[in-house]
Chains A and B, each alone.
Chain A
Amino acid sequence: MLLIRCPWCGFRDQSEFQAQGEAHITRPEDPYQLDEEQWGQYLFFRKNPKGVHYERWVHVHGCRRWFNVVRNTMTDDILATYRPEEPIPVLSDEETNQPT
């Protein structure tokens, strides 16, 4: 089980949270201008990386607020958590190059 730092509440047990998938996917400005391919890409196609993953979580059994997590999907190590309005953290190679 993961210990997750909510940017508002501090470290809490994973059972208080829900994972909500890849972060930083921006809704297209004008969906009506998109063709099927672009709309499908936006809705369904994901990076699904083996390694560093930027993702959204929600503190559903806590403050109910959304935030972002950087996690290594090979080790499940959480590298950073940050609020939606905060800039995307830049991680050094050392930080992201977690042992497998």
Chain B
Amino acid sequence: MAEASKAYSIFSLVRNSLNYHQNWQRAWRNPQPKQDYEVVIVGGGGHGLATAYYLAKECGIRDVAVVEKGWLGGGNTGRNTTIVRSNYLWDESAALYEHAMKLWEGLSNELNYNVMFSQRGLLHLAHSVHDMQEIGRRGNAIYLNGIDSEFVTPQQVKEMVPFINLECRYPIHGALLQKRGGTARHDAVAWGYARAADNLGVDIIQNCEVTGFQIEENTVKGVETTRGRIGAKKVGCVVAGHCSILAEMAGFRLPIESFPLQALVSEPVKPILDCVVMSGAIHAYISQSDKGELVIGAGSDSYTSYSQRGGFDVIEHTVGPILELYPIFSRLKMLRQWGGVVDVTVDRSPLISKTPVNNLFFNCGWGTGGFKATPGSGHVFAHSIKSGDMHPIADPFSINRFNTGALIDEGAAAAVAH
């Protein structure tokens, strides 16, 4: 991918260290927008940048602009808890998230950028007979789809996480383990895709907010932005938190509501937790970053909001169970807490779809768990934009499913928290 002179390698590291790291090249350009592009991608988060990268790399479309209202990866890409897994119940979801997982497994090499993808294993705890039945059903469905998943006993959980409290208010009856699951560095994913896309000729235009669409005869012709009009033959909207706003600009509605979702990180401590532990039943997700911080994901608030702030009760409902499960963490101080806006569909599956406007495509509605899908989402969306027909993996995620009734109900399947 990268030109030999620009590629990161042990040699470039040695060469630049001799210069006290003062001569590293910029990771991507900062171009002025052109008047017209073949494809404009709205949204410079992980999914949007991945879309642009695969358009340039695999679809032969290099006349691409990514317009971003803030800075790269400054939205939900930089706010999530970095968990990657593909243990979903339904075939459609399994195909999508496993497609992403396979791309994750070679991503650092492909992008010549260390995305710090770590397949450290992911435990999904079961706290009741119902939870055991749920992981039994889902684990077997995942297994039938050829994706790794194992049932583990409370004793095996204890071996993986020695300080876990098995006999607490939320007793652990068992767990579902995906060994290939884990974490990745979220910022690096955005930066790696941005650098690789830029290298292939994609213009990444930051501080450029879309304020409207130019639509003639029900066909999109370009976008209006705070930096002027940008023409495009095709437009792909890959936004989180504001897809309903963009849809309204284009004149249609989405089956989406936007909710606050919060996360928090502790002060950094020495390595103690070397896998991801999640519990859908009590909305407690925890892993340890390479910096040593414990990264904790909470549930979403019950009311819609764009305030990027959630209620304190939600934090309490997350931290309480975490301290029940891991009493050892009771003295840790929390360093930061933040909220993001997540676009949630009724069936908790994303929209990767054509829209009522010709040549305008939407990839949104990833709800509380889009980060894990970043490479796969960008890949299938790029191929869909290129051909004009949805990629077979993306096809079931059409907006139209809310009219036909062919929902992909991961909400009821409880594979995800919400």
Interface residues, chain A, with chain B CB atoms under 8 Å away: 1-2, 14-15, 18-19, 21-22, 36-37, 39-41, 43-50, 53, 55, 71, 73-76
Looking at chain A's contact residues, is the secondary structure mostly helix, strand, loop, or mixed?
mixed
Q: Which A residues lie within 8 Å of B345 (CB)?
A: 44
Contact, CB under 8 Å: A46 / B313: no
Contact, CB under 8 Å: B253 / A45: yes
Q: Which A residues lie within 8 Å of B257 (CB)?
A: 21-22, 46, 48
Chain A nearest CB, measured from B45 CB (Å) = 18
Contact, CB under 8 Å: A2 / B311: yes
- How far is A50 from B256 in the complex, measured between Cα atoms in Å? 13
- How far is A1 from B309 in the complex, measured between Cα atoms in Å? 10
Which of A1, A47, A50 contacts B253 (CB under 8 A)? A47
Chain A nearest CB, measured from B256 CB (Å) = 6
Q: Which B residues lie within 8 Å of A21 (CB)?
A: 257, 304
Q: Which B residues lie within 8 Å of A46 (CB)?
A: 244, 253-257
Q: List 12 A-B contacts (CB under 8 A).
A: A19-B304, A21-B257, A22-B257, A36-B403, A36-B405, A37-B403, A48-B244, A48-B254, A48-B257, A53-B304, A55-B303, A73-B304
- How far is A45 from B254 in the complex, measured between Cα atoms in Å? 5
Query: Chain B, 232-269, contact with A by CB distance < 8 Å: what is the 0/1 string?
Result: 00000000001011000000011111100000000000
Chain A nearest CB, measured from B345 CB (Å) = 8
The 9 A-B residue pairs with the shortest CB-CB distance in the complex, in nearest-first order: A40-B403, A19-B303, A48-B244, A44-B255, A44-B402, A36-B403, A45-B253, A19-B302, A50-B306
- Max count, chain B CB within 10 A of own CB: residue among A39, A44, A46: A44
Contact, CB under 8 Å: A1 / B313: yes
Q: Which A residues lie within 8 Å of B255 (CB)?
A: 40, 44-46
B305 touches A (CB below 8 Å)? yes
Chain B residue at minimal CB-CB distance from A1: B311
Chain B nearest CB, measured from A49 CB (Å) = 8
- How far is A15 from B303 in the complex, measured between Cα atoms in Å? 12
Chain B nearest CB, measured from A61 CB (Å) = 12
List 19 additional contacts besides A2-B303, A46-B253, A50-B245; criterion CB under 8 Å. A14-B313, A19-B302, A19-B303, A19-B304, A37-B403, A40-B404, A43-B346, A44-B345, A44-B402, A45-B254, A46-B244, A47-B253, A48-B244, A48-B256, A50-B244, A73-B258, A73-B306, A75-B307, A76-B309
